[in-house]
Every structure is written in structure tokens, then in C-alpha cells.
């Protein structure tokens, strides 16, 4: 008598395999669109606060009416969030970056820090 796996087990094995293949393919696509950027676009409360070159060291402090606070630092060609009063600190724990397709986001304080290449408005993004 042959010992066969039930059909439901085979289904789950195939489904997990397909999910893994899609995940790996997605990671490869994201890696392929990443490149070293030249400028930083800072969006706060849904509005672009400014575009700044990565080769000029600067520090920006964003303080909101609701008490939200973030400190964004451009230093040595990299950008990072050095301080935030949000509870999860994901933005502060994000490593410094100079890569496109690697945004730093602070959802509680509505801050998005993105590195872009010059003239990037004519380029495709990771979603296109």
C-alpha cells in the first residue's frame, strides 16, 4: 500500500512554494530599481517640505501641532531620522540611506523621507 499525502497537504505545499517564488521575485525587482540617489525629498503632513541635496550636510526639525517631532539629518551623503517622539521608533531604527526605493517613514508623525535621483520625475518608480 502506497503512502500518499492528502490532497490538502499538496495544495498547501504548492501554495507556499508559489508565495516564496513571488516574494523572491519581488525582492529582486526592488533591488534592481534601487540606485544611489543625489537628493532627498521630505514630505510632511502630505505636503512636500523641500528637496535637498545629499552632498550638503543639514539638519531639519519637524514639530507638529499634535506634538509630533522628528529630526532628519543629511550627513556624509546619507539621510536618516536621528530623533522622533513616536512610540514605535521605526523611523529612527531605519539605517541611514542614500538609495532610491528605500524610504524612511514615520506614520504617527506623517513624515516621509525619500532619496531620489536627479530628474527622477521622468523615471519609473517601484510601483509603475
Same-domain pairing of 44 and 64: yes
Same-domain pairing of 80 and 54: yes
Count of the separate structural domains present in the chain? 2
Question: Domain for residue 92, yes or no?
Answer: yes
| pLDDT tens-digit map of 59-102 | 999 998 788 899 999 999 999 999 999 999 999 999 999 988 88
Same-domain pairing of 100 and 61: yes
pLDDT above 80 for 126: no
Mean pLDDT of the chain: 86
Same-domain pairing of 26 and 52: no
The DSSP output letter for 128 is -
Question: Domain for residue 124, yes or no?
Answer: no
Beta strands 47-53 and 58-63 are unpaired
Cell of 86: 513616536
* Distance from C-alpha of 96 to C-alpha of 15, rounded to nearest angstrom: 36
Which residue range forms the structural domain that includes residue 9? 1-33
Query: Are 108 and 69 spatial neighbours (Cβ–Cβ below 8 Å)?
Result: no
Same-domain pairing of 26 and 43: no
Amino acid at each position: 500500500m502506497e503512502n500518499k499525502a492528502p490532497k490538502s497537504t499538496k495544495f498547501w505545499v504548492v501554495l507556499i512554494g508559489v508565495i516564496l517564488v513571488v516574494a523572491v521575485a519581488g525582492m529582486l525587482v526592488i533591488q534592481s530599481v534601487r540606485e544611489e540617489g543625489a537628493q532627498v525629498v521630505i514630505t510632511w503632513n502630505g505636503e512636500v517640505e523641500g528637496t535637498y541635496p545629499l552632498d550638503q550636510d543639514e539638519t531639519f526639525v519637524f514639530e507638529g501641532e499634535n506634538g509630533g517631532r522628528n529630526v532628519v539629518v543629511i550627513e556624509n551623503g546619507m539621510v536618516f531620522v536621528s530623533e522622533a517622539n513616536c512610540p514605535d521608533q521605526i523611523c529612527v531604527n531605519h539605517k541611514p540611506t542614500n538609495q532610491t526605493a528605500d524610504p524612511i517613514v514615520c506614520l504617527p508623525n506623517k513624515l516621509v523621507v525619500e532619496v531620489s535621483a536627479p530628474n527622477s520625475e521622468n523615471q519609473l518608480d517601484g510601483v509603475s
